[in-house]
Amino acid sequence: MYVKLIDPRKHGKTAYHNEGSCQKTLNYLVHEAKKGKGEVDIFFDQERDNLGPGQVQLAIDHNTKGLRARQEKFFSLIIAPSENELRHIKNNDQLLKDYTRQVMELYAANFNLKDGIKLRSSDLVWFATIHLDREYRGTDKEVLAGKAQVGGKRPGLHTHLHVIVSARDREQKLTLNPGGRRSRFNLMQWQMAAGQQFEGQFHYKALEQEKLKPRQRDASRDSGRAKRITERIEALNLLLPKAERLDVERIRQIAVNREYDKTFYRSLKRLEKVAEEGLPLGHPYHLLQTGREKTTGRPRPGLSVRHLLQEVQRALQPGKHRPLRTEEIGEREGSRRGEIELE
């Protein structure tokens, strides 16, 4: 089973652009679907079939309350069974719809929210459509060997599904980003659960090549990582008052505990930027451990005067020091471990 979160910056920058209306994405999905069936009312959701692109656009584009102008408004997913899996269910559209609805239940439940809140698929705004074929691309070995033409249909079964899901829940109270912090949404966990769902739902035994396997971290590079982190912390400490300087060993241990993941490095970069601006670091160890800033509502002793002077400086120079919103910490662009490449 192949399940993927599409990154518009890497795959389909125009077709899957998701910081505005979903119209271009829907136009692409309808165009590709019409090649196979010649139909327009091709979408379905948790309860309904035969939905048109106009209904989908209205629902997605009007479910953006609370999102900033340049923030993602929706996300695109691909669910693509292998040829063996498709044969097992006789390439049946209704079974694929039933399966997709279960996968979106798993998607909703995979979000780790405050106070132990658990979502259901019915809490989301999502729609899916079935595509029958895949086409050759210019980089395919068959095209390079002159055995196929770009745009030609690949032989065999290639039925797959495209899902478009709003970045806000149905009540427009929660922002749901499957490409953000792993502690908030573990992408690999969802991908693996989707494969297991197919096996259990259809009594299928997956082949090894059909299973998603977690990538193993290359531990041989850890000594180099630790050395570079030490150098960065020592350079950062030169920018800090003596009382605020960071414990190198403690931070190296945090890096080990987080397995040198992207969130750790993003948080470290954030601390370096704050130090360069001459601002107090706040709770640096908490940020490095969790990827989130910790706010107490109470200024730290000994920093109030310094902080006030900095606030005056920032007020006199608007725009020079633009603070990063807390919810953006650890959610910068980059590939995710365990996310298989689009084929």
Q: State how far the alpha carbon of 156 is from the alpha carbons of 84, 132, 135, in Å.
A: 10, 10, 11
Contact 184, 177 (CB under 8 A): yes
Q: Which of 132-141, 233-242, 306-315 has the highest mean pLDDT?
A: 233-242
Q: Which of 328, 250, 241, 324 is nearest to 289 (CA)?
A: 250
Distance CA 239, CA 223 (A): 25
Distance CA 269, CA 249 (A): 18
The pLDDT of residue 38: 64
Q: Which residue has the tokens 């209904």?
A: 55
Distance CA 267, CA 285 (A): 10
Q: How far is CA 200 from the centre of its chain?
A: 26
Q: How far is CA 115 from the centre of its chain?
A: 22
Residue 295 has pLDDT above 90, yes or no: no
Give the gyration radius of the chain's Cα atoms: 24
Q: Sketch the domain layout of the chain as residue ranges.
A: 2-210, 219-328
Residue 94 has pLDDT above 80, yes or no: yes
| Residue with more model confidence, 55 or 143 | 55
Residue 321 has pLDDT above 50, yes or no: no
Q: State how far the alpha carbon of 197 is from the alpha carbons of 78, 220, 278, in Å.
A: 15, 35, 51
The pLDDT of residue 210: 87
Distance CA 47, CA 197 (A): 19
Q: Which DSSP state fits 151?
A: T
Q: If you write DSSP's letter for every residue of 188-223 in order, what string do you get?
A: HHHHHHHHHHHHHHHT----GGGS--PPPP-GGGHH
pLDDT band at 78 (very low <50, low <70, confident <90, very high): very high
User: E strands within 37-115?
Assistant: 43-44, 74-80
Reported as a single tens digit per residue, the pLDDT across 3-52 is: 999 999 888 888 999 999 999 999 999 988 876 566 788 999 999 999 99
Contact 198, 81 (CB under 8 A): yes
pLDDT band at 309 (very low <50, low <70, confident <90, very high): low
What's the predicted TM-score (pTM) here? 0.71
pLDDT band at 291 (very low <50, low <70, confident <90, very high): confident
Q: Which distant-in-sequence residues (6+ apart) come within 8 Å of 42 by Cβ?
A: 29, 30, 33, 50, 51, 129, 130
The pLDDT of residue 324: 36
The percentage of the chain sitting over the pLDDT mark of 70, rounded to a whole number, equals 83
Q: Which distant-in-sequence residues (6+ apart) come within 8 Å of 219 by Cβ?
A: none
Residue 91 has pLDDT above 60, yes or no: yes
Contact 263, 184 (CB under 8 A): no
The dihedral formed by the CA atoms of 18, 19, 23 and 28, expressed in degrees to the nearest 10: -30
Q: Which of helix, strand or coil describes residue 187?
A: helix
Amino acid, res. 338: G
Mean pLDDT of the chain, nearest integer: 86
Distance CA 273, CA 293 (A): 14
The pLDDT of residue 306: 52
The percentage of the chain sitting over the pLDDT mark of 90, rounded to a whole number, equals 66
The CATH fold assigned to 2-210 is BirA Bifunctional Protein; domain 2 (3.30.930)
Q: Which of helix, strand or coil describes residue 164?
A: strand
Residue 284 has pLDDT above 90, yes or no: yes
Kindly state the average pLDDT of the residues 144-169: 94
